[in-house]
Chains A and B, each alone.
Chain A
Amino acid sequence: MIELNNVTFRYGHEDGDIENESGVENISLSVKAGQCVVLCGRSGCGKSTIMRLVNGLAPSFYVGNLTGQVNIGGRSPSSLCPEERTRLMGVVFQDPRSQFFMDNVRDELAFSAENLGISPDKIMNRIEKQSKELGISHLLNRSLHMLSSGQKQRVAIAAVSVLSPPLLILDEPTANLDHRSTQSLIDILGRFKQNGTTLFISEHRLRPLLPIADLFVCMEKGKIVRTWTKEEFSRLAYEDVRPYGLRHPDMVKSQSMSKSAEIPSIKPVLEGQGLTYHYKRNGDGIKNLDITFPKGSVTALTGENGTGKTTLCKILCGLLRQHKGTIFNQGIRMSASQRRASSYLVMQDADYQLYADSVGNEIVLGRRLHDALRLRAYEAMAAFDLEKLRERHPASLSGGEKQRVTMAAAYCSDAELIILDEPTSGLDGDGVLNVAAWVKKLAQAGKTVVMITHDDILSKLACDQVIELKNQQKGVSTVET
């Protein structure tokens, strides 16, 4: 199905090279029809470049220099006409928000088929069939804005598979999903595979993919360094994959850091009592929540999507005003604007929080530069390994690097409470370890850290307490461990 023959690709524009996207070198890869191949490796190792070569966006959309042969179903992707390409492959990108054209689910599913001029009756039939298969029949009349991220991901997959293309290409499909949604996504992909669809997936969370994958291809610096079959991969120990920066459940054991050594002092705490917030739109929210965060501790907030994790965090850092309840810092009541001034929320999407023209300026943004601050900024850059990137523009960095910059800025700020929203989504194994280490650094600097995360590895590595939010009938309870 997919044949890459000694392919080398370099990004480049007429006005010079783009240094941060380096391309791939001497790639030879062959995927048979009906197989499921998973691409893995550190962020920035060239996975997305291969995806782009396969779906034909490179070199037609992303300009660059291609040598070697790319064959998809026996033909070069650039020689396919738009109709053929649409019928041949379905491509799902990482961020479902920016690939939807329509505003309701049924229209979105129909979009590709409508473009090809298929008759409405046939389209309707296919939509019915496909939505039943993917378990989204009940969503067909919903608006896309109202869906959860798991549902959006499923709709995105349904939308590209309505034409039942023989090849599905997925870019980090599980990055933003909780355990349950990930599981149901894997089930769906398994069904596609049974029907003979070739799956080509790029992913960081590899373990959940084991049941469906046939081949794991590991890349580093634009080259393929290892390939494992499913059996080989499942037997790999952490030591084997560590050099490639992959994730592995045993990461926790090998990194048994001195966690219990210093139990944070219990006295000064941030606590919320009886916090209640309801969204007018659909009544979701939190109800009567009591919660305590010791100063200098790291807390993981877990729980399924839609249990109010984000709401709670927005209240804690003053973006939302709670409807009921109070928040105390060391026994003193805090208003929303006081909370805003003394907290720092690192959003999942770092794009919204980077404003300066260089990493160095970003870290000290908004404050008068004096020697103490400058020292602290250097300290932060050293701690987060940003010295080399100091002069770069934040928007030109990769996702992981951006996240590092915002964390360094948090480190450098006066905020006492730092909240991280899904800090490891889309990060490789090294990235997870680093986040864990950085979070500890933040805590050691005396800051209270709260993380929203679905990542068990991270919460085991770095957290002093894990709080799970659960949906009860119109309310939320906490379970602490």
Chain B
Amino acid sequence: MQTQIATIQNKWKMRDFITLAIFNVVMLIIMTICPIFTIVSYLVVGGAAALFNGPIYMVMSNKIDKRGVLFFTCIITGLYFVAFGYAYYLLTLAVIGIICELVLWGGDSYKSPVRNAIGYAIFYVGWSLCGVVPLIFFREQYLAILKKGYSPEQLETMLYYFDTPSMILLMCAISAVGGLAGCFIGNLLMKKHVKKAKLV
């Protein structure tokens, strides 16, 4: 039963799964709180979530230090949004997760702050793109669905964010910066606290 997972480089033990789950709970809670930042602008939500979750992710990645950390995180996040009725999040995030793992391919990358930061930033760019992806691939169907759900004015505002390339780019850039900054802060916290206390 555990063979599929065991074959992925180093063997995942039960405690790794438990650590992963607990840290993901924290990240999901923060992710759920972050839409409050819509008060500032819709564009910064992803960046804010990335910024706050950075330290959590860094500690988790350093603690588990096995291939698949980021991929599983993506999947869990995706599953969480499925429960809210956003099934396509899971698909997008699964693809993103694979890309992230490719970035982190190779020895010891889960302890390297730079590569972690890159992988993590990609994850959050992907997360903010989740609203955009269906517009690119299933434009007609998705618009049809949206048209049923939202009034024309609402749709227009939404498309302003999700369908204007400059806006998408801006959003991605904010998320990426948030992710990098989050990991940077996370790394500082790691050095200052976690490593000093010998917790990892």
Could you tell me which A residues sit within 8 Å of B by CB distance?
18, 20, 61, 357-358, 393-396
Contact = CB atoms under 8 A, between A and B. Distances in A.
B55 to A, nearest CB: 13
A394 B198 CA distance: 11
A61 B15 contact: yes
Identify the 3 closest CB pairs spanning chains A and B, nearest first: A393-B197, A395-B197, A396-B197
A172 to B, nearest CB: 22
B192 A357 contact: yes
Majority SS at the chain A contact face = loop
A395 B199 contact: yes
Interface in B165-200: 192-193, 196-199
Nearest to A396: B197
A213 to B, nearest CB: 33
A393 B197 CA distance: 5
B148 to A, nearest CB: 38
Interface residues of B, number: 7
Interface in B61-103: none
Nearest to B196: A393
A394 B193 CA distance: 9
Contacts of B192: 357
A393 B192 CA distance: 9
Given A357-B193, A358-B196, 17 more contacts: A18-B198, A20-B198, A61-B15, A357-B192, A357-B196, A393-B193, A393-B196, A393-B197, A393-B198, A394-B197, A395-B193, A395-B197, A395-B199, A396-B196, A396-B197, A396-B198, A396-B199
A453 to B, nearest CB: 29
Contacts of B198: 18, 20, 393, 396
15 contacts: A61-B15, A357-B192, A357-B193, A357-B196, A393-B193, A393-B196, A393-B197, A393-B198, A394-B197, A395-B193, A395-B197, A395-B199, A396-B196, A396-B197, A396-B199
A395 B198 CA distance: 9
Contacts of A18: 198
A18 B197 CA distance: 10
Interface of B: 15, 192-193, 196-199
A442 B199 CA distance: 32
Contacts of B196: 357-358, 393, 396
Nearest to A61: B15
Contacts of B197: 393-396
Contacts of A357: 192-193, 196
A30 B193 CA distance: 41
Nearest to A101: B18
A357 B198 CA distance: 12
B105 to A, nearest CB: 22
A61 B14 CA distance: 11
Contacts of A396: 196-199
A130 B46 CA distance: 50
A40 B196 CA distance: 30
A396 B15 CA distance: 21
Nearest to B13: A61
Contacts of B199: 395-396
B106 to A, nearest CB: 19
Nearest to A395: B197
Contacts of B15: 61
A457 to B, nearest CB: 32
Contacts of A61: 15
A20 B197 CA distance: 10
A394 B194 CA distance: 10
A395 B192 CA distance: 12
A358 B197 CA distance: 9
A358 B193 CA distance: 9
B45 to A, nearest CB: 27
Nearest to B189: A357
A18 B200 CA distance: 11
A107 to B, nearest CB: 18
Nearest to B15: A61
A393 B198 CA distance: 9
Nearest to A355: B193
Contacts of B193: 357, 393, 395
A435 B112 CA distance: 43
B100 to A, nearest CB: 26
B15 to A, nearest CB: 7
A283 B198 CA distance: 43
Contacts of A20: 198
Nearest to B191: A357
Q: Among the interface residues A393, A394, A396, which one has the most CB atoms of the partner chain B within 10 A?
A: A393
A16 B199 CA distance: 13
A284 B37 CA distance: 37
Nearest to B192: A357
A20 B196 CA distance: 12
A394 to B, nearest CB: 8
Nearest to B18: A101
